[in-house]
């Protein structure tokens, strides 16, 4: 039986610091994705608060703490009302240490929170404001085994390989990637798919926050590292792409990087 999944990429242009506006827009995007038949939608990095930490500074933490429950409740309700999986990226407060993490939270079709991934590689000022995660969970869902990396994490092959070896068939990469580093975005997302013989779904923010240009170009890459769908520069919309997870097994059965690994000789 074919394991076809429709993935939605919510390439949002957010208003910096305007959480209520951004969350309302995200809920609209969730509805649009469901209307297009999507099984899951991924929203980009820090869509609710905005990303430019040179502008937000400490406000990114105060906004995250103040609105974390509001954001989570709206994302949960959006998932439940539309019978769709949702990956939403926002500042999450961890109960065990009361620190704020740059997080991607996965909700199932019933609106239940399946878990969170906390960004493991802080970029620039992120290290000042957010705690860094240290785990790479893989979520078993009815549509497949899902892993998540956030933005800069995609530049570290070890992170994606860890998810792959833990069984991931799809890696979602919500991001706020700036135009100056566009070339690394165009290289990293397909490379992580090729190396690990799985699908990567890169969902980048669009729009401008002061001098920060977030260029979009969200994409879907198949297990052969081919870009099978890419959104336009600065598009502020939802795009849906159908993937077939049978291609993961088919690709891996044909040999290649995973089969020919020699971990006994690698020195890390």
CATH number at residue 54: 3.60.110.10
The mean pLDDT of 122-134, rounded to a whole number, is: 97
pLDDT of residue 254: 85
The runs of H, that is alpha helices, within 36-152 are 53-56, 59-82, 126-129
In DSSP terms, 106 is beta-bridged to 87, 115
Please report, rounded to a whole number, the percentage of residues in the chain having pLDDT higher than 90: 97
Is 45 labeled as catalytic in the residue annotation? yes
Is 119 labeled as catalytic in the residue annotation? yes
pLDDT of residue 129: 98
Report which secondary-structure segment, H or E, holds 199: strand 199-204
Q: How many other CB atoms sit within 10 Å of the CB of residue 112?
A: 11
The mean pLDDT of 205-216, rounded to a whole number, is: 96
Render pLDDT for 141-173 as a digit per residue (tens, 0 to 9): 999 999 999 999 999 999 999 999 999 999 999
Active-site residue identified among 25, 42, 74, 151: 151
User: HSE-up of 230 (CA within 13 Å, CB side)?
Assistant: 12
Q: How many other CB atoms sit within 10 Å of the CB of residue 20?
A: 13
With H, G, I as helix, E, B as strand and everything else as coil, classify residue 116: strand
For 212-262, where are the E strands, in sequence order? 212-215, 219-221, 227-230, 237-244
Q: Reply yes or no on whether the pLDDT at 1 is more than 60.
A: no
- Using pLDDT thresholds of 50, 70 and 90, give the confidence band for residue 15: very high
Active-site residue identified among 25, 45, 89, 221: 45
Q: Reply yes or no on whether the pLDDT at 71 is more than 70.
A: yes
Angle at 200 between CA 1 and CA 78, to 5 degrees: 80
Handedness of CA 188, 217, 53, 138 (dihedral sign): negative
Domain range for 67: 4-265
Total domains present in the chain? 1
Is 259 labeled as catalytic in the residue annotation? no
Active-site residue identified among 25, 119, 178, 217: 119
Render pLDDT for 35-70 as a digit per residue (tens, 0 to 9): 999 999 999 999 999 999 999 999 999 999 999 999
The mean pLDDT of 226-238, rounded to a whole number, is: 96
Render pLDDT for 129-143 as a digit per residue (tens, 0 to 9): 999 999 999 999 999
The runs of H, that is alpha helices, within 36-154 are 53-56, 59-82, 126-129
What's the Cα-to-Cα distance from 106 to each of 114, 184, 197, 214, 219, rounded to whole Å?
6, 26, 23, 23, 20
The mean pLDDT of 191-215, rounded to a whole number, is: 97
């Amino acid at each position: 039986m074919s394991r076809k999944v429709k993935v939605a990429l919510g390439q949002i242009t957010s208003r910096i610091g305007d959480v209520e506006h951004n969350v309302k827009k995200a809920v609209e995007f969730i509805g649009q994705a469901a209307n297009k038949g999507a099984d899951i939608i991924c929203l980009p990095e820090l869509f609710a608060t905005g990303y430019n930490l040179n502008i937000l500074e400490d406000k990114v933490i105060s906004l995250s703490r103040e609105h974390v429950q509001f954001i989570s409740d709206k994302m949960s309700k959006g998932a439940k009302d539309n019978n769709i999986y949702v990956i939403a990226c926002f500042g999450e407060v961890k109960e065990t240490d009361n620190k704020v993490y740059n997080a991607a939270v996965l909700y199932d079709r019933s609106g239940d929170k399946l878990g969170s991934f906390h960004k493991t590689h802080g970029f620039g000022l992120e290290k000042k404001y957010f705690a860094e995660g240290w785990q790479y969970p893989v979520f078993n869902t009815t549509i497949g085994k899902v892993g998540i990396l956030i933005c800069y994490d995609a530049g570290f092959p070890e992170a994606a390989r860890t998810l792959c070896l833990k069984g991931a068939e799809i890696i979602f990469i919500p991001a706020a990637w700036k135009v100056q580093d566009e070339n690394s975005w165009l290289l990293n997302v397909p490379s992580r798919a090729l190396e690990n013989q799985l699908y990567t779904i890169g969902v980048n923010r669009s729009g401008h926050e002061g001098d920060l240009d977030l260029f979009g170009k969200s994409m879907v890459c198949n297990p052969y590292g081919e870009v099978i769908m890419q959104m336009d520069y600065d598009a502020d919309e939802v795009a849906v792409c159908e993937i077939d997870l049978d291609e993961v097994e088919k690709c891996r059965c044909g040999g290649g990087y995973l089969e020919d690994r020699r971990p006994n000789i690698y020195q890390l």
